[in-house]
Amino acid sequence: MTSVLHIALEVDGAGQHPAAHLVEPHTTFATPAARPGVTPDAHRLRTVVAAAENAGVTFVTFDDSLVPVAGRDPHRVDAVTRAAFAAPLTSRIGLVPLVHPAVTEPFHLASQLAALDHASTGRSGWLVGAGAVPGARAALDRPVADGQDLADETADVVTVVRDLWDSWDDDAVIRDTATGRYIDRDRLHYVDFASGGDGPAASPALRSAPDGRRAPFTVKGPLIVPRGPQGQSVVVGRAGAVPGELLDIALVSSLGQAQGTGAPLVLVDVAVTLDTDTATGAQRLEALDRSAAHTPDAVVFTGSAAGLVALLTSLRGVVDGVRILPSVIDDDVPVLVRDVLPALRVARALPTPRPGATLRDTLGLPRPTSRFAATA
């Protein structure tokens, strides 16, 4: 474990509590933009991410879903697009959208995230969705895997996405004006990936097939996007849902899960409800739970900023970082950026992301060598 503590922050919707959207906002995060053509949601996203970046957050995550979720805008754009929107507005913070392998074709998924890595100059990541996806059958109009088949399909997709990110050598773009060549085709590679699975293959009869078994798929490659500044985006996933050797960061929901993940870095999810100027964290959480009872799959902290600082400081050397899930973004994030993160910086518990650094640089992760270059 590292001696510093990386802080990640979930910024989707009004907050992680399902009643967060019922709370009257008290901060500028909800203030509509003054600029013409900028929607309040876009302004809010920009403001929250900027506040996180200025406070020293290592990366933000963007949750996503196919069907409306309480507290989330049912008309929101997808997580990758929201991360791409934030890319040119930031310079140090990592941008990690959730994309579920079960509902996005691997080739398109790899292309979108590689493009995000270019747009963010090397600050992209991928939060691998895991488990069943509500609405997947209707959205895809085909059977979807579940159980172990879904877990195996997820591992296959992560594997082929990493292969596709390596399908361009770092120096494949040559821009040779003398010969009129933009790329050297000898530096592009077929991945020729074939997944497992014995479910029904694509056909007109597929619509009537039952859910459960995964269908095999193949990917030829190469990708249509050059290799990103990081080589491969940082892959973040739930411990146990994705094999540790395929992850750069394993997310756990308790400290007891932190050992033996097989991933280079481990971050624990902490659901936070903080004291504010108008109410204690306990009072706020009680009011939220009256509207919608909620038991987060995370370590739970309710209390003062000083108490959270003490908790996070105690986690140095136990885990590599914490992903904070604020109950209500408009109320909890201002306390985080004003009272919690500055105290951690004074204690030298936080890394300092610098402009121009990739997310891998900030996390202390090496830039992967292309498997094709290594083979050659």
Q: Is the pLDDT of residue 68 over 80?
A: no
- Interatomic CA distance for residues 353 and 6, integer angstroms: 10
Whole-prediction pTM: 0.93
From residue 62, alpha-carbon distances to 51, 181, 339 in Å are: 15, 38, 24
Residue 103 pairs with which residues in a beta bridge? none
Asked if residue 10 lies in contact with residue 61, where contact means CB atoms within 8 angstroms, the answer is yes
Note the pLDDT of residue 214: 85
Q: How confident is the model at residue 33 (pLDDT cuts 50, 70, 90)?
A: very low
10 Å Cβ neighbour count for 24? 7
Q: What is the mean pLDDT of the chain?
A: 90
Task: State which amino acid sits at residue 273.
Answer: T
Mean pLDDT value of segment 166-173: 93
Asked if residue 124 lies in contact with residue 83, where contact means CB atoms within 8 angstroms, the answer is yes
- pLDDT tens track for 114-165: 999 999 999 999 999 988 888 888 888 888 889 999 999 999 999 999 999 9
- Interatomic CA distance for residues 202 and 199, integer angstroms: 9
From residue 363, alpha-carbon distances to 248, 308, 353 in Å are: 10, 22, 9
- pLDDT tens track for 205-246: 777 778 888 888 999 999 999 999 999 999 999 999 999 999
Say if residue 74 is preceded by a cis peptide, omega within 30 of 0.
no
- pLDDT tens track for 73-95: 666 789 999 999 999 999 999 99
Q: Where are the domains of the chain?
A: 6-375
- Interatomic CA distance for residues 281 and 335, integer angstroms: 11
Q: How confident is the model at residue 71 (pLDDT cuts 50, 70, 90)?
A: low
Query: CA neighbours within 13 Å on the CB side: how many for 206?
Result: 16
Task: State which amino acid sits at residue 40.
Answer: P
Note the pLDDT of residue 1: 62
Note the pLDDT of residue 35: 46
Note the pLDDT of residue 38: 52
**Fold of the CATH domain 6-375:** TIM Barrel (3.20.20)
pLDDT higher for 271 or 29?
271
Please state the φ and ψ torsions of residue 345, each to the nearest 5 degrees. Answer: -70, -40
- Interatomic CA distance for residues 354 and 358, integer angstroms: 9
Chain centroid to CA 264: how far? 16
